[in-house]
Structure 1
Amino acid sequence: MTARDATEPAVRADARRNRALILTAAQRALAERGAGVSLVEVARRAGVGAGTVHRHFPTKNALLEAVVQERVDRLAAAAAEHLTDPDPGAAFFALCTHVIVTTPGHKDLCDLVQSDDGWPRALLRGAGDRFHRALGALLVAARRQGAVRADVTLTDVLDIFTGCVAIQRQRPVGAPVAPAVALVLDALRPPTSVVTELAEVDRDETGASSESPASCPVCHAPVRRPAVGRPARYCSPACRQKAHRLRNSAKPPRLRRA
């Protein structure tokens, strides 16, 4: 083995590391400064030279496309991982919530993807296709389980993402799912599924369980475990009140005495 052969793997590893550093820095810079951030600023944040950035991404559009592709690839991987979940319904709603809550922080990237300025999007199309296939398979499994209405299609879900992201964008980045978004997601469920899930929570509250559920049965946002007191069953007072209204609406009306 020559000295050149020995150093090539190290060079390739170093190049991969630099590319990952650049993409991470670009994601943070775009989230903080918007699409107007310069490649020089990205290089500074990544701790590499401007020439290194240009070697990996000759143009700013190439860098933006790579950032978006990585974001969509992560969503596709998350959707694919959820396919092995024993509860596809819960996995489907958890993925929907994750997409809606995390996407508003990428507003400028979303606007660039939706624009029609002619820059290449072959990588994005491939990543998007992978995400759609995994999401579609998870939707089919959730429908088969009875957790999602039988008439809901993949196109419906993607349209709901667009609308719900616009709603969620009015809240601070990283905030829990907006109540209006929770209402829209609940509309994907069969009419009786929400009430059944709430009834299970009621049984837990009157039983011996001492742990909070992993997610809110109303909006499927994470439930924080309190340091003291009874375990929390809902992510917020608003969801607790909504659960109370749903349970009351499911009760048969009382007959009035003649």
Structure 2
Amino acid sequence: MTVPNGTEPAVRADARRNRALILAAAQRALAERGTSVSLMEVARRAGVGAGTVHRHFPTKTALLEAVMQERVDGLAALAAEHLTDPDPGAAFFALSTHVIVTTPGNKDLCDLVQSDDGWPRALLRGAGERFHRALGALLVAAQRQGAVRAEVTVTDVLDIFTGCVAIQRHRQTGDPVAPAVALILDALRTPSSAVTELAKTDRDETARRSESPAPCPVCRAPVHRPTIGRPARYCSPACRQKAHRLRSSSNSPRLRRA
């Protein structure tokens, strides 16, 4: 059967759209349920038929490799984008943080990739090489800037990623980096840049402490901020009691009926 030329581009576009939907659904399903998720479940989440999934990915192994390839290619693209950043040191640590925070949701998939069961990995190997090249270029730029220790290699960074991801798995998805991870990343900085980063953090914290507190919501008078404990909201106990009486009267049944 011959497909009219006018419909062929539409068919290809529809196939690309379905493939993207399947990969996105598979990524979510794998993050939630691990590699035991079925192709039928992936099809349901993608909103396509099981036959469509099988046409694009004849086996679950093919789907798993495609999902992992897409993720690694995404990291490679992100690293390449960071190469144009005017501050390569900040860009390197931003990329490192992103890799560490987003990888724990792909634990089972990463474990499968690191196994030795002989499943095909040609596409994944190419994606990994692209990521390593982009990461290496960003590392060199950060080292030339003096932001990262000169003796650190790409292999060192990848080993650090592995250890930090293991630590980060103990935290909830979406949480910031664990304190131990932050310490490990700081160890990559040159001594001078680490001191500068600490001084910057101290300045930011000092600036936050010196910000003027909000005035008292009752009388608009300045509110004294204590050095320890919870920040005060009212300027005095009298204003606090007055605010409590106003809240109590506004919640009374009589006023609500009115």
1:14-29 alignment, distance < 5 Å: 14-29=14-29
Separation in 1, partners of 2:137, 2:105 = 27
* Aligned-pair CA distance for 1:32: 1.0
Determine the structure 2 residue equivalent to 1:56. 56
Deviations 1:124-182 (A, max 9, x none): 00000000000000000000000001111111000000100000011111111000000
Determine the structure 1 residue equivalent to 2:78. 78
Name the SS for the 1:161 alignment partner: helix
The structure-2 alpha-carbon separation of the partners of 1:108 and 1:143, relative to structure 1 and needing over 3 Å to count, comes to same
Percent of paired sites with the same residue: 85
The structure-2 alpha-carbon separation of the partners of 1:39 and 1:186, relative to structure 1 and needing over 3 Å to count, comes to same
Separation in 1, partners of 2:206, 2:33 = 49
* Aligned-pair CA distance for 1:192: 2.1
- Answering whether residue 151 of structure 2 is matched by residue 151 of structure 1, we say yes
Determine the structure 2 residue equivalent to 1:106. 106
* Aligned-pair CA distance for 1:194: 1.8
Separation in 2, partners of 1:151, 1:65 = 33
Deviations 1:68-97 (A, max 9, x none): 000000000000000000000000000000
TM-score normalised to the size of structure 2? Answer: 0.78
Determine the structure 2 residue equivalent to 1:8. 8
Aligned residues: 211
Name the SS for the 1:110 alignment partner: helix
Q: Which runs of 5+ in 2 are unaligned?
A: 216-258
Determine the structure 2 residue equivalent to 1:116. 116
> If you compute each CA radius of gyration, which structure gives the higher value, 1 or 2?
2
TM-score normalised to the size of structure 1? Answer: 0.78
Determine the structure 1 residue equivalent to 2:182. 182
For the aligned residues, what is the CA RMSD? 2.1
1:179-218 alignment, distance < 5 Å: 179-203=179-203
Runs in 1 of length 4+ with deviation above 2 angstroms?
A: 197-208
Name the SS for the 2:81 alignment partner: helix
Separation in 2, partners of 1:108, 1:121 = 16
Separation in 2, partners of 1:46, 1:191 = 49
